[in-house]
Amino acid sequence: MKTKFVKKFAIAGALMAATAAHATDVEVLHWWTSGGEAAALNVLKEDLQSQSIGWTDMPVAGGGGEAAMTTLRARVTAGNPPTAVQMLGYDIQDWAAEGALGNLNDIAAAEGWNDVVPAPLQNFAKYDGNWISAPVNIHSDNWVWANKAVLDEIGVAQPHTWDEFVAAMAAAKAAGKIALAHGGQAWQEMVVFDGIVLSVGGADFYREALIERKRSALESDRMLEVFKRMETLRSYVDENFSGRDWNLASSMVINGEAAFQIMGDWAKGEFINAGKVPGEDFLCFRVPGSEGSMTFLADQFAMFNVDSAEAKDAQAKMASAIMAPSFQIAFNQVKGSVPSRTDIDRSVFDICAQKGMADLAYANATGGLVGSLAHGHGQPAALKNAAYDVVTAHFNGEFDAAAAVEELSAALESM
């Protein structure tokens, strides 16, 4: 009887302890659903679980995050927002302006975030001088990913100029390969567009045209050249690209079906998840002509207003876990991005990440770091979506390069 009582008491105590350990969960809305992304997210889950913080997962598929933002709006309208939400750029600022986000100043001050987060990124992580989100990483758009075995097979080296890139795609196509793996979704076409704008005119032109929206830049010969290059790329995409998810396009390069993909550095996470080694199995380099400049975006977790002290404590612990150097290293090694902190040792990363960190430092120091229009760091949603419409319509042949210049200028100037 005593043994049964002791066992019963022990079981009850264990259940009570488990219940107490997860009395405060964090419900996290995000769109990290691909293999590499899910592996990266698991690093954060395990970190929080080690602190006895439960994790309620709320994934909403869609690489650009539009579907997740639609779901979020419905939850907030119903008076039931998640605890934490993955967000990008101006979306964070919009929710902060509505008074929906909590304040992370205490944890940010205690851990010195002001000293280690680049100023352009702080512009999105703060609102009215207050920290409102915890940046997980810094991504950049203007990358090319290449299957090294395919390039060796067709006898071409890594291209360094636009003409060399076109010649390499032509050689791949002639050899029966898909030259450029691409997913026909508006946000993916905008990622490509971001890189091509940088390749044609650099960060100054990108800033004048897409961020400052100057007519002289939007209607320039340079912008005409941008759209002509987009037409060139379209001629090297396979016929079945429409609607393809970005990670499936990455798989085409990984499997040797395609030679190249223009995609942000989250694509590297797919290569790593597939067991591929940078420099040996695949190459990573900037869109030819865009070296020295970067379009950046940063995944951040914004914390929504919560009432209970326990919930606020869980949010603070989650924010602290995100910004911890150990997590920034572990997460970004898997995700493909680079840390949002500038004080992380580069030597623990692979060669692609080391290049990304060096590029970030150089671009940040020289004015070459510009917010990605494709991912809501160049313009608020309305302007971003207006640009999406023009770029994807042109890529799908609805009008030529000259008409696209006029349409883009009209779309961005009308807001």
Note the pLDDT tens digit of each residue in 3-55.
Answer: 433 333 332 333 233 333 344 789 999 998 888 788 888 888 998 898 888 99
Indicate if 402 and 346 belong to the same structural domain: no
What residues pair up with 84 in beta bridges, in sequence order?
28, 303
> For residue 83, is it within any domain?
yes
> For residue 78, is it within any domain?
yes
- CATH code at 337? 3.40.190.10
DSSP codes, 260-305: EEE--TTHHHHHHHTT--BTTTEEEEEPTT-TT-EEEE--EEEEBP
| Mean pLDDT rounded to a whole number for the chain | 91
pLDDT exceeds cutoff 80 at 280: yes
Lowest-confidence segment of 7-21, 186-200, 257-271 by average pLDDT:
7-21
pLDDT exceeds cutoff 90 at 80: no
pLDDT of 6 reads 36
Number of C-beta neighbours around residue 391 at 10 A: 28
Residue pair 160/286 in contact (Cβ under 8 Å)? The answer is no
Task: For residues 194 and 384, give the distance between their C-alpha atoms in angstroms, rounded to a whole number.
Answer: 12
> For residue 3, is it within any domain?
no
pLDDT of 308 reads 84
Task: For residues 404 and 406, give the distance between their C-alpha atoms in angstroms, rounded to a whole number.
Answer: 5
Indicate if 152 and 258 belong to the same structural domain: yes
pLDDT tier at 66 (50, 70, 90 boundaries)?
confident
Last residue of a domain, one of 305, 328, 352: 352
pLDDT of 16 reads 30
pTM recorded for the entire structure: 0.85
Provide the token pair at 407. Answer: 């349409």
Name which of 252, 249, 244, 261 is nearest 180 in CA terms: 261
pLDDT of 414 reads 67
pLDDT exceeds cutoff 90 at 140: yes
pLDDT of 415 reads 56
Number of C-beta neighbours around residue 184 at 10 A: 16
Mean pLDDT of 264-283: 94
- Give percent above pLDDT 70 in the chain: 93
DSSP reduced 3-state for 113: helix
DSSP reduced 3-state for 348: helix
Domain count, the chain: 2
Indicate if 321 and 407 belong to the same structural domain: no
pLDDT of 290 reads 97
pLDDT of 279 reads 96
Mean pLDDT of 168-177: 98
Residue 159 DSSP code = P
Task: For residues 213 and 408, give the distance between their C-alpha atoms in angstroms, rounded to a whole number.
Answer: 10
pLDDT exceeds cutoff 60 at 159: yes
Query: 20: which residues sit within 8 A by CB, 6+ positions away?
Result: none
Provide the token pair at 207. Answer: 């800033």
More confident residue, 50 or 152: 152
> For residue 48, is it within any domain?
yes
Indicate if 256 and 126 belong to the same structural domain: no
Task: For residues 183 and 230, give the distance between their C-alpha atoms in angstroms, rounded to a whole number.
Answer: 14
CB-based burial, 140-173: b 16+ in 10 Å, e otherwise: bbbbbbbbbebbeebebeebeebeebbebbebbb
Residue pair 260/144 in contact (Cβ under 8 Å)? The answer is yes
Provide the token pair at 82. Answer: 């998640």
More confident residue, 47 or 355: 355
Task: For residues 232 and 136, give the distance between their C-alpha atoms in angstroms, rounded to a whole number.
Answer: 35
Indicate if 302 and 195 belong to the same structural domain: no
Indicate if 197 and 243 belong to the same structural domain: yes
Indicate if 345 and 376 belong to the same structural domain: no
Indicate if 320 and 372 belong to the same structural domain: no
- CA dihedral for 348, 199, 261, 187, sign (positive or negative): positive
Indicate if 131 and 169 belong to the same structural domain: no
Residue pair 260/330 in contact (Cβ under 8 Å)? The answer is no
What residues pair up with 371 in beta bridges, in sequence order?
296
346: number of CA atoms within 13 Å, CB side?
12
Indicate if 131 and 198 belong to the same structural domain: no
Residue 375 sits at φ, ψ, to 5 deg, of -125, 35
Query: Tell me, what amino acid is at 133?
Result: S
Residue pair 26/319 in contact (Cβ under 8 Å)? The answer is no
Indicate if 278 and 290 belong to the same structural domain: yes
Mean pLDDT of 181-192: 97
Indicate if 182 and 252 belong to the same structural domain: yes
DSSP reduced 3-state for 134: strand
Mean pLDDT of 98-116: 95
Domain around 128: 24-138+297-352
Which pLDDT tens digit goes with each residue over 287-298?
Answer: 999 999 999 999
Residue pair 343/328 in contact (Cβ under 8 Å)? The answer is no
Query: Tell me, what amino acid is at 175?
Result: A
Name which of 53, 37, 101, 11 is nearest 267 in CA terms: 37
pLDDT of 215 reads 96
Task: For residues 322 and 302, give the distance between their C-alpha atoms in angstroms, rounded to a whole number.
Answer: 11
